[in-house]
Amino acid sequence: MDSISQAALGAALGGVVAGRVYGRAAIIGGAALATLPDLDVVISYGTAIANYTYHRGFSHSLLVLVPVAIILALLLSRRFPDLSRRRWLTFTLLILVTHPLLDTLTTYGTQLFWPLLPPLGTNSIFIIDPLYTLPLLVTIVIGLLRPPAIGALAAGLTISTLYLGWALTAQQVVSQRMAPVLAEEGLSGAPTMIQPMPFNTVLWRVTVIAEDQRLETAVSVFDGLQPPVIERFAYRRDLLNALTEFPEGRRLIWFTGEFLDVHIVANELRATDIRLGASVYVCAGRKGGAGGTVAPGH
């Protein structure tokens, strides 16, 4: 999710775990530690496509973050012995591990088990959702004004977690509503993405990839039995296959699955990430290489 939400989650967790001993410092330290995985944005991997697909990579992997948490806990317990080593381990593990787990609920994708598996993403919550973040921010303010405020911070964490549970439930409601529609279209097994529209968990975007077309519709959890209005767009699978001739084209397919809209523009293959829709990736017209640029999407 966005950096403010991640920092707020880390601050609340830090205050709950270490607030009785370190008060405001535990909240501030938790917020700082929670931003650590996102520092990979300062790394340049050489091209715009590489930067896009390597973000949320090694710095979000549990195979990296768990050892880092253990090392940090050992260092902190020596420097600040007022908190036990086990308590420091709880502090570092909770804050570092919940960061990529929260990111995994979004659409972008998180390489939770880098370098072994491709990105994981449940598409259950928009990358910025005030209803998730506000309870955390309110209780953090309370914690900073009247530390340690363990009860308030715990309440904020409970409310935000319940909201995530609601998001997953709403997504499942939409999935069940779409099942007979897709069956009627003969697309029950087709690649399907159900993601929330911006800043909410009530209205959802449903995208289905067929052999030669892409189906799009918007579904509300309160639509009842009202049939969805489906829009249809051409899907150039032949151009998707052509994208595999380029190293970074293959990287894009690995990163997005089949959710790419590929066109030929000025003798170049241009692939838009359908999931996010805000970036265009350009593969130059020569086999074996593709530099790539990022521009506003359609």
Span 183-225, pLDDT tens digits: 999 999 999 999 999 999 999 999 999 999 999 999 999 988 7
pTM of the full structure: 0.91
- Smallest CA-to-CA distance from 253 within 240, 263, 239 is with 240
Helices (H) then strands (E): counts for the chain: 9, 8
Q: How confident is the model at residue 287 (pLDDT cuts 50, 70, 90)?
A: very low
For the chain, give the mean pLDDT: 92
Q: How confident is the model at residue 281 (pLDDT cuts 50, 70, 90)?
A: low
Residues 6+ apart with CB under 8 A from 265: none
Q: How far apart are CA 66 and CA 43, in angstroms?
A: 21
Measured distance between the N- and C-terminal CA atoms of the chain, rounded to whole angstroms: 23
pLDDT at res. 266: 81
Q: What percent of the chain has pLDDT over 70?
A: 93
Adjacent-strand bridge partners of 196: 204
- Smallest CA-to-CA distance from 55 within 110, 96, 114 is with 110
